[in-house]
Homo-oligomer: A and B are copies of this chain.
Amino acid sequence: MHSKPTMSDVARLAGVGTMTVSRVLNGTVRVSEETARRVQKAIEQLKYRPNQLARVFRSQRSQTIGLIIPYLYDPFFANCAHAVTTVAKDRGFSVIITTTNEDPDTEYVQAEQMLQRHVDGLVVIPAHRRQSRLTRSMFGRTPVVAFDRPVSDPAMDVVLVQNTAGSRRMTEHLIEHGHKRISFMGLSRRLFTINARFLGYRRAMQDAGLEDDAYFGCDSQDDTLQMVQQKLRGPNPPTAFFTSNTLASRYVLGALVSLGVKMPHDLALVAFDDFDLADMTSPPLTVVRQPAQEMGRVAASLLFERIARGELPQTGNRIVLPVEIVLRRSCGCKHRTPVVIH
């Protein structure tokens, strides 16, 4: 078989010039009905499909955006990605996706590759704050929106959630339940989100005149089990845990279950970031819920706004989305069904 039919094949068959075919296809300029019909017929006969590659090359606009995220197996990121792809699809754009595994070098290389492919814009969840090598300048005139985590470059748009405020309110809720010794459990303060949540927690503790007590390093089930055990057996054991992301929640919950701790009777537990089946644990988990899809949607929409305008901001927008507190039972509340506080 031969290669695909081109515009001139269609033109020849229809007995017109290539421009006429182009015009019929794009509807930019009026073409007489008569010729239009002939062209249409030729298109169908040859099963002609315009070569998008040529169009893109010609116009230097790819009708494509890039999406760079750490992982897809993390449901939070996957939800963000889902929203971005959905927005793009609605606008007729394609999405090139890539994962960085939180590695700034991979991130940099992938961003470069996307730029070489002339994406019309980029949506990025930057690799760990201090390390991300992305700067506004490397993107030239290509708009970029960061989300979930900020970037140091103030010229870049960024969409975040209320990490600090949400964490603070969650902590206050525990304090209202009468808890005075609340342990904050996280992965690493080097992660922007974890750190922001820690700051909210600390603020609430300080405002209540309580001492904060944080552990960073919930990297594995074993490490976490050890630490939880140590805390519970030490002097002044905590009466509540606040886990700062899904992974930490998982490990701490696992530790508490395997230690036979009764919740919320013996100990309260609350978490940042809701997850599927958080209401199926025993007891159902009280959490701060982040709007993952909403964040992706907002970030993508902002990007398309930039693309449409064709101009870059001097100072990037900084959009902070509200979180919700979902009161279930692990905090000590007795709601039969979850109560959501906005």
Residues in chain A within 8 A of chain B (CB atoms): 1, 4, 49-54, 56-57, 60, 62, 64, 67, 71-73, 75, 78-79, 81-82, 85-86, 89, 94-99, 106, 110, 112-118, 140-141, 250, 253-254, 257, 275-277, 279-282, 293
Contacts and interface: CB of A to CB of B under 8 A. Distances in A.
A96 B64 contact: yes
Nearest to A94: B96
12 contacts: A53-B60, A53-B118, A57-B57, A67-B97, A73-B293, A75-B78, A78-B81, A85-B99, A89-B106, A94-B114, A257-B280, A276-B277
A91 B60 CA distance: 25
A95 B94 contact: no
A116 B280 contact: no
A114 B89 CA distance: 12
Contacts of A116: 49-52
Nearest to A99: B85
Closest 8 CB pairs of A and B: A72-B82, A78-B78, A57-B57, A52-B116, A282-B282, A97-B97, A52-B117, A73-B82
A279 B86 CA distance: 32
B52 A118 contact: yes
